Amino acid sequence: MQYNKRFNEFISEKEKWAHLIWMFAYRSNGVNFADLLRMRWDHIRGNKYLMFHRKKTETTRRNNRKEIIVPLTDKLKDIIEQVGNKKSPFILGLLPVDYTDTYFDNKCHKVRQEINKCLTILSKRLKLSVPLKLKTARETYATNLKRAGVPTSQIGEMLGHSNSIVT
């Protein structure tokens, strides 16, 4: 997916925020939105790494949970600075501390829909051949690594996959 990386003509703050969230997901090893929504400030280690576990593997891989390690680049730090809510333990600040699974699922669905709606509008304006969606951040991340010659096993590890067959 190629587009002008300097594009900054957003029609609303909501659209700009949606774009930043897409970039946040992409630059965080293609993290899926559920994990991004749950990401906490204390997942940042030494201002060098962002370390977290995938929500998806909490119940399926209890004995073999792998921590995903994301290098905190200057660009990623800048994005976090723009979207982060320092008043909340969660980076995006969209969850209460004592959220329930039902609340999380509903919030995740609602916010994902809002973001994808803004990304669709942005994609049309940019005339992208593949529309931006939150899931394309993950797919684009993996595709770019593959095109750069990174072995599938390493890509899978970065994505938090249990084995290369999944990747």
pLDDT tens digits, one per residue of 2-40: 444 556 678 899 999 999 999 999 999 989 999 999 999
Tokens, residue 166: 């999944």
Tokens, residue 163: 């084995």
Global confidence as pTM? 0.83
Sign of CA dihedral 128, 147, 17, 35: positive
| pLDDT given at position 60 | 60
Tokens, residue 133: 């969606």
CA 84, 81, 110: angle at the middle one, nearest 5? 30
Q: Strand, helix or coil at 85?
A: coil
